[in-house]
Amino acid sequence: MCLVGFLALLIFSLLLLLRTDLTRTDETIDASRKVIADIAVDAVNHTRLDPDALQTQLGFLRGRFSVDSIELDLRDGRRVISGNSAGPFDEVIRLTGVGTLKLRFNAAAHTDAKRSFWLISGISIAAISLGVMLLLLYLPRITRPIEQMLGDARELGERTGDQEETAYLIETFRNSINTLKAQEGELKRLHDREKSRADELERVTAALTRSLTSGLIAIDANGRIVDINAAGRDILGIAHEEPLSGRELRDVVKLPAFANSLQTAFEQQSAMTRVEIDDEAVTIGLTTVPLRNESGAFLGFLALFTDLTPIRSLEMRVQEMTTLAQLGEISAGIAHEFRSSLSTILGYMKLARRGAVDDVAEGRLQSAEKEASLLLQAIERLLAFARPVQLNAERVDLRGLIDEQIQQLHDIAPDVAFEVNGPIVAIQGDRVLLSRAVENLLRNAVDAIRQ
């Protein structure tokens, strides 16, 4: 309201000044016209009393002082007029020595001054009315925040009885700013501490990811790759320097079955545990874990995978070795039965040779006994192969060992000539196993020569 009163006083003062200025303008115009009228009276008094001379003088005065019309009424009843006497004029009348002089000035000067006064007055009154209306309309909006600030300030602290509202408000908010600065420092300290912890956690996570011997793929909620660790890149054949963040799964993973399994896990948002995937001669074990926030919203998932191809190859080899071991046990059992039977047959042959037999039967018995002995030696070798090998190391003369084996082969290969060249060499080894090895070599050589 004080502001409204101030505006009203200001407008009233302005109107008063304008009115004073209008009065002064009117007085100045009237004064100047009176002076012109006095000059015109003096000029007419000094002009001879002749209509033409007077007409000329009046025309001169009109042109010099911008008078619209001058009329001179002579004492003898004649009238001399110069200019147009019709229209709105301000008239100044003077008595001269020859008659009455009427000077008519254009009234536009007074009219324009009054029009300007009323126009400015109207604008001023309209402005103050609009200002008062706007002030009454927006004053609550202006004062409401201040009142709210004062209310907030009262919640922060009470003011003293003689303290002005402005000072109280400034002091309260200064204290609030100081408190906020202190809290800002505390928040910055907490932020730095949490950032340090986050950086440390990021380093630990990166180290853990690098240390994983299994592959790890992180997928976001849009199905795009976040990262793949080094082991995963090696398994999938992806270069370590190739950027992967933000790319689609199928654009990066070139194994179709593995990519389809990952895409299915993402679309179903489901967990997969130790699922084996055969893909292009590669076997991959896959485990997926969906990630969700506290409200259950899906954030993405993690996929942990391992190349099981070497393990499957090893399992196949172990299975083959198990089969071979079982076959060896069966073969050893069969060989044991054969050895028992052959020993019995050899015993009967030796008994038969002790009896009275002719030369033909003796030769046949010797040939059969020799073949049975050879078969028995083969069975003995088979049984020795099936048994675990135990080395009995001793000093062995290789030259003498070879000569012994050659001497034994003369009976079964009399048509083959053996020739041994080289120095005498003695080594540390198992005599029995070396004898078997040399015997096998010589038998293979004999068979090759005969073929």
Which residue has tokens 């003796």?
Answer: 362
Region 34-53 average pLDDT: 83
Q: Which CATH number fits domain 391-451: 3.20.20.370, 3.30.565.10, 3.20.20.20, 3.40.640.10?
A: 3.30.565.10
**Mean pLDDT, the chain, whole residue set:** 78
The answer to whether 379 and 373 have CB atoms below 8 angstroms apart is no
10 Å Cβ neighbour count for 439? Answer: 19
**By three-state DSSP, how is residue 180 classified?**
helix
Q: Check residue 99 and give left, alpha or beta (phi > 0: left; psi -120 to 50: alpha).
A: left
pLDDT, one tens digit per residue, over 365-412 is 777 777 777 677 777 766 666 666 567 788 888 888 888 888 877 767
Q: Is the pLDDT of residue 24 over 80?
A: yes
Nearest to 208 by CA among 233, 236, 231: 231
DSSP 8-class letter at 357: -
Segment of 4-13, 115-124, 357-366 carrying the highest mean pLDDT: 115-124
**By three-state DSSP, how is residue 226 classified?**
strand
Report the percentage of the chain scoring pLDDT > 90: 0
Token representation of residue 141: 């909006």
The answer to whether 227 and 243 have CB atoms below 8 angstroms apart is no
Q: Which CATH architecture has domain 212-307?
A: 2-Layer Sandwich (3.30)
Q: Which CATH architecture has domain 2-114?
A: 2-Layer Sandwich (3.30)
End-to-end CA distance of the chain: 136
Burial of 223 by CB count in 10 Å (0-12 exposed, 13-18 middle, 19+ buried)? Answer: middle
CA 346 to mean position of chain CA atoms: 90
Q: Answer yes or no: same fold for 212-307 and 310-388.
A: no
Burial of 65 by CB count in 10 Å (0-12 exposed, 13-18 middle, 19+ buried)? Answer: middle
Burial of 98 by CB count in 10 Å (0-12 exposed, 13-18 middle, 19+ buried)? Answer: buried
> What are the boundaries of each domain within the chain?
2-114, 212-307, 310-388, 391-451
Cβ-Cβ contacts under 8 Å for 432 (sequence gap 6 or more): 392
CA gap 74, 101 in Å, rounded: 9
pLDDT, one tens digit per residue, over 135-145 is 777 767 766 76
Which residue has tokens 């078969």?
Answer: 375
User: Quick one: fold of 310-388?
Assistant: Helix Hairpins (1.10.287)
Give me the DSSP letters along 241-287.
Answer: TS--TT-BHHHH---HHHHHHHHHHHHHT--EEEEEEEETTEEEEEE
Q: Is the pLDDT of residue 1 over 60?
A: no
The answer to whether 238 and 252 have CB atoms below 8 angstroms apart is yes
Q: How confident is the model at residue 154 (pLDDT cuts 50, 70, 90)?
A: low
